[in-house]
Amino acid sequence: MTLTATAKKKIITKHATQKGDTGSPEVQIALLSERIKLLTSHLKGNAKDNHSRRGLLAMVSKRRRLLNYLKSKSKTRHQQITKALSLNK
């Protein structure tokens, strides 16, 4: 249910804006998106796991806030990350 270190490193290198970048909105959005995918698949098999569902809703909300921030700062970067992660809206 959690990201492995190698998967996390792969996502970071793919979406980093410069070498050693782990805090940019693009990287944070990509990491959250992967965690959301994993948790969604977990919840399909464990429908009554309300504690994890609450965490999922918090992650979705945080990703939405980061996307809104990125859109206000740079529309091109926002479009690139939504296209790369195939996010709707």
List the domain boundaries for the chain.
25-84
Q: pLDDT exceeding 70 applies to what percent of the chain?
A: 98
16 — phi, psi (to 5°)? -70, 145
Among 89, 40, 32, 39, residue whose Cα is nearest residue 66: 32
Pick the CATH number of 25-84 from 3.40.50.300, 1.10.3720.10, 1.10.287.10, 3.90.1150.10: 1.10.287.10
How high is the pLDDT of residue 89? 65
Stated pTM of the model: 0.94
Q: What are the pLDDT digits (tens) for 30-65? A: 999 999 999 999 999 999 999 999 999 999 999 999
How high is the pLDDT of residue 77? 96
- What type of residue sits at position 28? Q
